[in-house]
Amino acid sequence: MLSKSIEAALNKQIRIEAESSQAYLAMAIWAEVKGLEGISNFMYDQSDEERAHMLKLVKFVNERGGHAHVSELTAPNVTFESYKSMFEKLLEHEIFVSESINDLVHISLQEKDYATHNFLQWYVAEQIEEEATARTILDKVKMIGDDKGGLYLFDRDIQQLTVSSAAETPGI
Ligand code: OFO
Does any domain span residue 29? yes
Does any domain span residue 119? yes
Tell which one of 13, 15, 20, 135 to mutate to probe ligand 1, the residue whose CB is within 8 A of the most ligand atoms.
20
Does any domain span residue 170? no
Q: How far apart are CA 23 and CA 18, in angstroms?
A: 9
> Stretch 10-37: mean pLDDT, rounded?
98
Does any domain span residue 169? no
Tell which one of 102, 119, 130 to mutate to probe ligand 1, the residue whose CB is within 8 A of the most ligand atoms.
130
Q: 97 CB under 6 A from ligand 1?
A: yes
Q: What is the mean pLDDT of the chain?
A: 93
CATH of the domain at 120: 1.20.1260.10
Does any domain span residue 172? no
pLDDT of residue 159: 82
Q: Are 90 and 27 in contact (CB under 8 A)?
A: yes
DSSP result, 41-56: HHHHHHHHHHHHHHHH
pLDDT of residue 162: 57
Does any domain span residue 167? no
Q: Model pTM?
A: 0.92
> Could you tell me the residue range of the domain that residue 60 belongs to?
4-71+79-160
